[in-house]
Amino acid sequence: ETGVTQTPRHLVMGMTNKKSLKCEQHLGHNAMYWYKQSAKKPLELMFVYSLEERVENNSVPSRFSPECPNSSHLFLHLHTLQPEDSALYLCASSMGGGNTEAFFGQGTRLTVV
Partner 1 sequence: GENVEQHPSTLSVQEGDSAVIKCTYSDSASNYFPWYKQELGKGPQLIIDIRSNVGEKKDQRIAVTLNKTAKHFSLHITETQPEDSAVYFCAASDGGSQGNLIFGKGTKLSVKP
Give contact residues for partner 1 (rule: CB under 8 A): 2, 4, 6, 31, 33, 40-43, 45, 48, 50, 55-56, 90, 92, 94, 96-107
Query: Please, what is the minimum distance in Å from the beta carbon of residue 4 to partner 1?
Result: 7
Cα–Cα distance for residue pair 55/45, rounded to 1 Å:
12
Least distance in angstroms from the C-beta of 17 to partner 1: 24
Question: Helix, strand, or coil here: 51?
Answer: coil
Question: Count of H helices and E strands in the chain?
Answer: 0, 11
Q: Which is closer to partner 1, CB of 15 or CB of 51? A: 51
Spatial separation of the C-alpha atoms in residues 97 and 83, rounded to whole Å: 35
> Least separation, in Å, of the C-beta of 37 and partner 1?
9
Spell 13-27 as b/e; 16+ CB within 10 A means b: beeeeebebbbbbee
Q: How far is the CB of 76 from partner 1 (least distance, A)?
A: 15
For partner 1, the closer of residues 56 and 61 by Cβ is 56
| Closer residue to partner 1 in complex, CB, 66/107 | 107
